[in-house]
Structure 1
Amino acid sequence: MTNSTEIVSFVLTMYINIGKFKHLYFILAMLLYISVIFANTCLIVVIYVDRNLHEPMYLFLCCLFVNEIWGSTSLLPCLMVHILSDTHEISAFYCFIQIFNIHSYAAIEFGTLTIMAYDRYVCICKPLHYNVLMTIGKVQIGILVIWMISFLEVGVLLSFTIRLKFCGTVIQKISCDNHLVVELSCSPDRTMSYLHDVVFGLLFTVAVPLSYISYTYVRIFAVCLKASKQTKMKAFDTCLPHLFSLMSFVFAGFYNLISQRFDMTFVPHELRVILTMYGPIVQPLLNPMIYGLKLSKIRHAFNVVFKLKQ
């Protein structure tokens, strides 16, 4: 279809031809989705019920777990439909909805991890000011601002994309992606889409938060070098899950940016599919495991709330 302004659907071409195994893969994807929902919901309930966890760090974690459900829901239901499908078509309307959901998930995730880094910085580097700088009210405002800015930013990005005229329908991915959809456009005015993608997508959403997180951890490590062994261990226990989660998410985001802009055919197709799904599928399952297993207060609260130990 060329020179068309009436594109009603796109075709996702990265799905593997799994033939008679498609029902098995559908069941595996469904079990994965159920696991993500169950794990994150359990930890949200634990943090909500146990008043001892009504502290800034755990409220940020609660926000993170809510976002994991949002992120996995943006991809997995659609993925299950396409596993059973032979055409892998997605309507233009749902494609734009999926772009909004996945991109806002990524923005919220990075924003939450950034403000969690600030929380750890204040806790370790300015402990005497912690209760003043990190009140529950400020935490709630911070979470609200992150979600509002993320939705607004992605909404503006999508408003540029929707107005474009499209000459192609083939998306080389298992889900809709704004950059790849813009590449299908034959409009002469797609400069704003690229500009927003670079300025807001790369600069404000990635470069600035990552630079600030790096700064906070430089300060944290500098304080830890002069601290007692007990303080070092406490800092290590609270910062390690955050660092692991951050590195996992940065890896997923970095691969996504690279795969959009460069030829990745030298990577085996199956591996490319797995790496493409990493962000909105593996990350939502990984975070509950990281924080649920590593943080002793959450483990203890989980046992109390669900009465696993008397």
Structure 2
Amino acid sequence: MENGSHPFYFYLTMYKDQKNFRYIYFTLVLILYLVILSMNTLIILVIFLERALHQPMYILIACLSVNSLYGSTGLLPKMLADLLLDTHAVSRPACFIQTLVILTYGAYEFTILTLMAYDRHVAICEPLKYHSIMTTRTLAIMVAVAFLYPLCAIGSNVSLAFQLPLCGNELRKLYCSNWSVVQLSCIQTTMNNIVGITITVVTVFLPLFFILYSYIKILVICQRSSSEFKRKALHTCLPHIVTFVNYSIAVFCEIIFSRYELPDVVAVILSLEFLIIPPVLNPLVYGFNFPEIHRRILLLLTSTKISMTSK
């Protein structure tokens, strides 16, 4: 261990028993990564290229896809390398960078879903004021805050963990995580725990309560409205609710794994769920449920196929 209490390398111990199946796992992870890249890139391209989709709801969907690419790229390329290598070491700076990426990915998912809930709340509860409230400038400011605040808050928490003297360098994970590093500390981590809990409350639970409040109000409005209005409202809100519920369950599973000892197979599944399921599910939910996006995806793919055939 280099530098005594500040090891220059960490070792990811969850890869130790994967040798006999490493090529199978590598192939599956590679296919998964390519699927995530292709589907989310397609959503982003369609929304970017089609001026008719330059509306707050679709721009926020594109932000979700950008975040999916960001989070999966912070995890899967390193995982692919680790599945092929015999040593599963990661340098201290690289470990904390990956930690920052994965934590901010998780926070961004909640903040973007919060903005989507607010957008639907305004559209359904105050339709006459929608265009005056959800202006391009307002949306740009909200998106900037949704990305910058978690980066600053989580960055401060990760920097606290970076300064801790450690009594080990083995992480029972497939990737670097802040809690796993803090558990190796040789000193009290009260400050880290307080900061971590505060950031979790502000970046997870406050958005969670706001999202629940927004959709409860939407449901109340729908109950008082016509069946046609109710159908349209639920059609636009249902994908957001599905995404929100799926991600909340995935994050809960990750928290459970981080705090308790579980069998290796269960630990692997729970630790990867919130980083893999949402990037795959989100494009499917929005790409197939929204006719505007679905239709333009088909047009883009058809035009691309025709152009390739003509060559």
CA contact (8 A) 1:2 1:168 kept: no
1:303 aligned onto 2:298: yes
Contact 1:16 / 1:270 at 8 angstroms: preserved in 2?
A: no
Displacement of 1:255 in angstroms is: 1.1
Query: What is the distance in 1 between the residues matched to 2:99 and 2:80?
Result: 17
Work out the CA distance in 1 between the residues paired with 2:230 and 2:16.
47
Q: Counterparts of 1:85-164 in structure 2 under 5 Å?
A: 85-164=85-164
SS at match of 1:10: strand
- Which ranges in structure 2 are unaligned for 5 or more consecutive residues? 307-311
Give 1:135 deviation, angstroms: 1.1
Aligned length: 305
- Comparing both structures, which one devotes a greater share of its residues to helix? 2
**Residue 237 of structure 2 is aligned to residue 242 of structure 1:** no
How many Å separate the matches in 1 of 2:112 and 2:131?
20
Unaligned runs of 5+ in 1: none
CA distance in 2, matches of 1:245, 1:125: 21
Structure 1 residue 3 displacement after superposition: 9.7
Q: TM-score, normalised by structure 2?
A: 0.93
CA distance in 2, matches of 1:100, 1:129: 38
Using the TM superposition, give the Cα deviation of residue 168 of structure 1 relative to its aligned residue in structure 2, in angstroms: 1.0
Asked if 1:282 corresponds to 2:277, the answer is yes
Whole-Å separation in 2 of the counterparts to 1:129 and 1:68? 31
Structure 1 residue 224 corresponds to structure 2 residue 219: no
The answer (yes or no) to whether the contact 1:76–1:281 under 8 Å persists in 2 is: no
Q: Give me the CA root mean square deviation.
A: 1.8
Does the 8 A contact of 2:154 with 2:199 survive in 1?
A: no
Report the counterpart of residue 193 of structure 1 in structure 2.
Answer: 192
Q: Give 1:2 deviation, angstroms.
A: 11
Alignment of 1:173-184 (within 5 A): 173-184=173-184
The 8 Å contact of residues 3 and 186 in structure 1, kept in 2 or not, is answered as: no
Matched, 1:293 2:288: yes
Contact 2:15 2:174 in 1 (8 A): yes
Query: How far apart, CA to CA, are the structure 2 residues paired with 1:186 and 1:195?
Result: 18
- Provide the C-alpha distance between the structure 2 equivalents of 1:77 and 1:175, rounded to a whole number of angstroms: 11
- Higher alpha-carbon deviation: 237-246 or 11-20: 11-20
Secondary structure of 2:11 counterpart: strand
Letter of the 2:266 partner, please give it.
Answer: L
The CA distance in 1 between the partners of 2:299 and 2:6, in whole Å, is: 57
The whole-number CA distance in structure 1 between the counterparts of 2:3 and 2:261 is 26
Structure 2 distance, partners of 1:119, 1:6, is: 46
Which whole-Å CA distance do the structure 2 matches of 1:16 and 1:225 have between them? 55
Kindly provide the amino acid, as one letter, of the partner of residue 170 in structure 1: E
What is the match of residue 257 of structure 1? 255
Confirm or deny: 8 A CA contact 1:60 1:112 kept in the other structure. yes
Which letter maps to 2:269? I
Deviation string, structure 1 residues 146-174 (Cα, Å, up to 9, x no partner): 11111111111111111110111121211
SS in 2 for 1:130: helix
**Alignment deviations for residues 73-115 of structure 1 (CA, whole Å, 9 cap, x no partner):** 0100111111112332221111101001000101111100011
SS at match of 1:11: strand
Instruction: With a CA cutoff of 8 Å and minimum separation of 6, indicate the structure with the bigger relative contact order.
Output: 1
TM-score scaled by length of structure 1: 0.94
* Aligned-residue identity in percent: 37
* Cα contact 2:123–2:130 (8 A) shared by 1: yes
Q: 2:204 aligns with which of 203, 206, 217?
A: 206
Amino acid at match of 1:95: C
3-state SS of the aligned residue for 2:129?
Answer: helix
* Alpha-carbon displacement from aligned partner over 1:23-60 (angstroms, at most 9, x marks no partner): 22212211111111111111101001111100000010
Match of 1:53 in 2: 53
- In structure 2, the CA distance between the partners of 1:220 and 1:147, relative to structure 1 (3 Å rule), is same
Distance (Å, rounded) in 1 between the aligned partners of 2:171 and 2:123: 45
Question: Aligned equivalents of 2:15 and 2:226: distance in 1?
Answer: 53
State the Cα distance separating 1:303 from its structure 2 match.
Answer: 2.2
